[in-house]
Amino acid sequence: MPENPHIKQRNQIITELQADLTHAYQVINQQQEYINQLEEQLSQKSPKTHISSAPSDKSAYPQGKIKTRYQVKKRVLPYQKKSGKLSQLQFTAIVAVVVVFITLIGSALMRRPSSNPSKQTTDKAATSPKSTTSFPPAPNLTPIPQNKSNPVILPPKALVNSELSELVYNVQTPPNFRKSKTLQSTVDAAVNLAVSQGLPKKPLSITLIDVKTGEYAQYQQEKPRFPASVIKMFWMVYLYGQIQNGRADEIAFTPYIDAMVKKSDNNAASTVIDAVTQTEFTKDLKEENYQNWLKKRNQLNIFFQKAGYNKININQKTYPITDKKIYEPQGADLRMRGDPKDPIRNKITTQQAARILYEIYSSQAISPLYSEKMANWLSIDAETRIEKREQQDPNVFNPVRGYFSESLPTDVYFGGKAGWTSASRQEAAYIATRDGATYILVVFAEDRAYAYDWKIFPKISDLVFKRMTNTN
C-alpha cells in the first residue's frame, strides 16, 4: 500500500527539524567550549588572590553592608576588570547561542508547507521584497521543462555549504518566440533614432519581445557584448539556484541581494561571487591552485551554458570593490583575463538578457516562488522613479535618470537592471501597462558616445512604449 503523502510530508518536516536541532546543539557545544577556553585563559593571566578569615574589627565593614564569612583581599585593580569582562563574554555568548537556536527553529518552521495546498505556491518567506504588482501571464509558447525535483533542504549555513559541486540552470530550452514585422519596424525606428542623434549603430544591440503574443524583433541581438552591471541579474539567478538546492541560506544573503540588485553595489556582488563559487580574492596562486580556483569560478558560466546560454561569460567581478580597496582586477582575477592588450571580459547578448528576464517573469527561473522574489528585487516602483528622475548625485546608483523608466508613465510596472561604464550603457527591462501591453526591451551600447548621452535610452524607451501601446 503506498505511503500516505500527508504522513510522508509530516515525516520529512520532523526529519528537517531534528537536523536543525542537532545543528543547534553543535553550535551550543562549540560556544560552551569557547567560554571554557576563555575562562582558562583569564584565570592563567589573573594575579593570585589570598583568602583569609574576616577581620574582627567591625570598622572594616562599611556601614549598612552585610558581613560575609570570608573576604577576598584584592591586590590589584586590573583583576577586577578582567573578572567583569569574563562575565560580559559569557552573557554575549549565551545570547548568541539563543539567537542561533531561535533562527534555526524559525527557519525550519518557515519551511513547513501550508495546510491549504492552494496557498502553498504563493506563501513568501520573511526575506521576500514587497510585491508591487501582479504580473501578466506569459504567452502560451513551447513548453519549457522545469526542475520538478524536491531536494532535501539542509540546515541554514552562514553563507554557502562548503561542498561545491556543479549545478545546472533548470530551464533547459530557450523560449520559442516568432519574428514580427511590426515589432521589427519598431526596432528599426529605434536604431534610426540613435543614428539621427549622431550616435553609431555598429556598437548597438537591441532585443524587443512582446510577452503577450510571443513575438520578437532584434538588431544584432546575438552579438556578445560587455554587460556591466546587467550581469548581476544572472548572479542573482545563480544564487537562488544555490538556495533552491539547499546550499545557501537565503536569510544570510538577503542584504547582499538587496545591495547587489537594488543599489548595484559591487562590494555586495563580490561577496556573493566569493561565497557561491568559493573563490575569494587572492594575489598569488601556484598553477595547480589557480586551475582549481578557475574551475570553481567557471561554475557561473557552466550553470547557464549547459542550459543553452551559448558562449555566455559571467565569471568576472565588477569593479571597483571599495570595501577591499580593489579598484581593478588583481591576482587570479587579473590572470583569468589573459592578454592585457585584448583581455577576456564578461560577455552576454541582448537575446540572453531578454531570455533571463522572460524566464523570471513567467515563473520559470529556479522555481515559481523564487522567480517572483527575483522579479520583486528587479522592480522599481513609481515613487522611486519620480524621486530619481532629476537626481544627479554621481555617488549614488540611479537606475532611472538616463535609462528607460525616466520617460515612462509612473503607473506602469517596471522591472529591470541597468549598467553603465565610462565606455558603455546597458539596460534590460520588463514593462507592463494597466491596459495589458507587456514587453521586454534590452539595449546594449558599447561606445563612449552612449555612455555620456543621458537622453538616448529614455528616447528609445519612449518610442517603443508608444508603439507597443498604440499611443503614437
Tens digits of residue pLDDT in 206-261: 999 999 999 999 999 999 999 999 999 999 999 999 999 999 999 999 999 999 99
Q: Is the pTM of this model over 0.75?
A: no
Please check the confidence at residue 49 and state whether its pLDDT lies above 80: no
pLDDT score, position 25: 52
> How would DSSP label each residue in 54-75?
PPS-GGGSPTTPPP-SEEEE--
> How would DSSP label each residue in 456-470?
HHHHHHHHHHHHHTT
182 and 94 in one domain?
no
Please check the confidence at residue 202 and state whether its pLDDT lies above 60: yes
Residues 448 and 465: beta-carbon distance below 8 Å = no
Q: What does the pLDDT average to over 43-66?
A: 38
Confirm whether 69 is domain-assigned. Answer: no
Domain boundary among 67, 94, 116: 116
Q: Please count the helices (runs of H) and the strands (runs of E) in the chain.
A: 14, 8
Please check the confidence at residue 331 and state whether its pLDDT lies above 80: yes
106 and 232 in one domain?
no
Question: Which of residues 231 and 163 earns the better pLDDT score?
Answer: 231
Domain that holds residue 1: 1-47+77-116
Please check the confidence at residue 128 and state whether its pLDDT lies above 60: no
Q: What does the pLDDT average to over 323-346?
A: 93
342 and 237 in one domain?
yes
Number of domains in the chain: 2
Please check the confidence at residue 427 and state whether its pLDDT lies above 70: yes
The Cβ of residue 392 has, within 10 Å, a number of other Cβ atoms equal to: 10
pLDDT score, position 17: 60
pLDDT band at 72 (very low <50, low <70, confident <90, very high): very low
pLDDT band at 134 (very low <50, low <70, confident <90, very high): very low
pLDDT score, position 368: 95
Question: Which of residues 394 and 415 earns the better pLDDT score?
Answer: 415
Confirm whether 169 is domain-assigned. Answer: no
**Nearest residue to 240 (alpha-carbon basis) of 263, 256, 229, 226:** 256
* Set of cell numbers at residue 287: 598553477
Q: What is the DSSP letter of 149?
A: -
Domain boundary among 86, 116, 146: 116
197 and 104 in one domain?
no
pLDDT score, position 280: 82
pLDDT score, position 219: 98
Confirm whether 71 is domain-assigned. Answer: no
216 and 94 in one domain?
no
pLDDT band at 160 (very low <50, low <70, confident <90, very high): low
Question: Which of residues 255 and 65 earns the better pLDDT score?
Answer: 255
Confirm whether 42 is domain-assigned. Answer: yes
pLDDT band at 5 (very low <50, low <70, confident <90, very high): low
Question: Phi and psi at residue 147, in whole multiples of 5°?
Answer: -75, 110
Q: What does the pLDDT average to over 166-194?
A: 95
Of the segments 66-80, 134-148, 419-433, which one has the largest average pLDDT value? Answer: 419-433
207 and 336 in one domain?
yes
Residues 246 and 161: beta-carbon distance below 8 Å = yes
452 and 359 in one domain?
yes
pLDDT score, position 39: 60
Confirm whether 419 is domain-assigned. Answer: yes
Please check the confidence at residue 74 and state whether its pLDDT lies above 50: no
* Set of cell numbers at residue 352: 540572453
pLDDT score, position 367: 96
239 and 337 in one domain?
yes
Q: DSSP 3-state assignment of 384?
A: helix
189 and 87 in one domain?
no
Confirm whether 302 is domain-assigned. Answer: yes
Confirm whether 156 is domain-assigned. Answer: no
85 and 204 in one domain?
no
Q: What is the DSSP letter of 115?
A: S
pLDDT band at 161 (very low <50, low <70, confident <90, very high): low
> How would DSSP label each residue in 402-449?
TSGGGGS-TTSEEEEEEEEETTEEEEEEEEE-TTS-EEEEEEEE-SHH
Q: Which residue has the cell 574589627?
A: 57
pLDDT band at 282 (very low <50, low <70, confident <90, very high): confident
Helix (H) or strand (E) holding 52: strand 50-53
CATH classification of the domain holding 280: 3.40.710.10
Sequence-distant (6+) residues with CB within 8 A of 46 are: 79, 82, 83
Q: Which residue has the cell 560556544?
A: 31
Domain boundary among 90, 116, 142: 116
* Rg of the chain in Å (alpha carbons): 29
Question: Which of residues 54 and 31 earns the better pLDDT score?
Answer: 31
345 and 230 in one domain?
yes
pLDDT band at 55 (very low <50, low <70, confident <90, very high): very low
Beta bridge partners of residue 420, listed in sequence order: 425
pLDDT score, position 14: 60
322 and 445 in one domain?
yes
Q: What is the DSSP letter of 225?
A: B
Q: Which residue has the cell 570595501?
A: 323
pLDDT band at 37 (very low <50, low <70, confident <90, very high): low
Question: Which of residues 451 and 157 earns the better pLDDT score?
Answer: 451
Q: What does the pLDDT average to over 388-413?
A: 92
| Cα angle 363-366-121, degrees, rounded to a multiple of 5 | 55
pLDDT score, position 104: 46
pLDDT band at 353 (very low <50, low <70, confident <90, very high): very high
Confirm whether 231 is domain-assigned. Answer: yes
pLDDT score, position 423: 96
Q: Hey, CA dihedral for 328, 331, 334, 336, is it positive or negative?
A: negative
Alpha-carbon dihedral 182, 186, 191, 192, rounded to 10 degrees: 100
Q: Supply the mean pLDDT for the chain.
A: 77
